[in-house]
Amino acid sequence: MSRRDLLVGGGAAAAASMATYLGVSLLPLQAQAQDFGAPSVVQVGYRKQKVGDFEVIALNDGVVRRALQAEFVRNAPLAEVQELLRSQNLPTEYVDVPYTAFLIVAGGRRVLIDTGFADNGPPTTGRLVGNLNAAGFKVEDIDTVVISHHHGDHINGLRNKAGQLVFPKAKIMVPAVEHAFWMDDAKMEAAPASAKGAFQNVRRVFGGLGPDQLVPFQAGQELLPGIRTDAAYGHTPGMVTVTAQSRGQKFMYLADLTNVPQLFARNPDWAVVFDMNPEEARQTRRRVFEAVVKDKTLAGGFHFPFPAFGRIEALGQGYDFKPVA
């Protein structure tokens, strides 16, 4: 499914899956896997790591268990996908997809990258604020929220079901290319019915925010001293990575560069159903992983197994994620 397929009427089944993933309705995913039991939720859902003078804190928002079906990896046979899982002693009937945002503490600044679901998602999500509190911070402490892209699991945590802002004092920074895409009324009208909810959800989350609260930025821009973004297009039209650098040490937030790394880091040419432009996403994944490995950069991913950050190492024709101890 190309980006054009998704938005002008083709690939209806994949579009329906996309709409579900975007946070419009994740409950069907939970239901698909109910026969496999509930996913395990981490008991201590935060982890702190020093990066020079900065502190990076992983904040788990929860996990969703979904049945592993053929469309999850769009360009590989299900049997091959299951074999790779089996080789890592992982279940082959379902996948657990975790959600972890990151807080960067930089001097007096508190910068949250992505937001999870708040109370808008399945019952095994919505844990970010509790883990933020456990890590020693309150929602009022967050002065900046940086959004990597506009999929629902990354933006829904900005507002609760009642429509209230979860981080009331935060400036919300969004990638300009990404924001323009999802706020384009013509694109929303051209989208299949199953995908329109994703566009409407973006309007629900960001609607009513004034220019003092909502700040678009260009990929490649330094947002704050030591914190910059870079283009990582493909998963969505305008997704970015976020890099924090202090005293010669670096941390890179990879967002959804790869979904479950046990599959898509080890096979970076595989396309998850949620990549809107699979070929562009594949090229971006290879380019960024190569740079991360070369520079030995500490890396974190939204869907990486908790603690969700560690090192990326070359492995065969792909890569392996080694979480911090």
For the chain, give the mean pLDDT: 91
Q: What is the pTM of this model?
A: 0.91
- The per-residue pLDDT for range 181-191, each reduced to its tens digit, is 999 999 999 99
Q: pLDDT at position 24, please?
A: 36
- The per-residue pLDDT for range 68-105, each reduced to its tens digit, is 999 999 999 999 999 999 999 999 999 999 999 999 99
Q: pLDDT at position 218, please?
A: 98
Q: What residue segments make up the domains of the chain, in order of their start?
A: 46-323
- Whether the pLDDT of residue 321 is over 50: the answer is yes
For residues 28 and 268, the model is more confident at: 268
What is the band of 34 on the pLDDT scale with cuts at 50, 70, 90?
A: low
C-alpha–C-alpha distance, residues 319 and 306, integer Å: 18
Fold of 46-323: Metallo-beta-lactamase; Chain A (3.60.15)
3-state secondary structure the chain: CCHHHHHHCCCHHHHHHHHHHHHHCCHHHHHHCHHHCCCCCCCCCEEEEEECCEEEEEEEEEEEEEECCHHHECCCCHHHHHHHHHHCCCCCCEEEEEEEEEEEEECCEEEEECCCCCCCCCCCECCHHHHHHHCCCCHHHCCEEECCCCCHHHHHHHECCCCCECCCCCEEEEEHHHHHHHCCHHHHHHCCHHHHHHHHHHHHHHCCCCCCCEEEECCCCEEECCEEEEECCCCCCCCEEEEEEECCEEEEECCCCCCCHHHHCCCCCCCECCCCCHHHHHHHHHHHHHHHHHHCCEEECCCCCCCCEEEEEEECCEEEEEECC
% pLDDT > 70, the chain: 90
Q: pLDDT at position 37, please?
A: 87
What is the band of 32 on the pLDDT scale with cuts at 50, 70, 90?
A: low
The residues that bridge with 94 in the sheet, in sequence order, are 67
What is the band of 10 on the pLDDT scale with cuts at 50, 70, 90?
A: very low
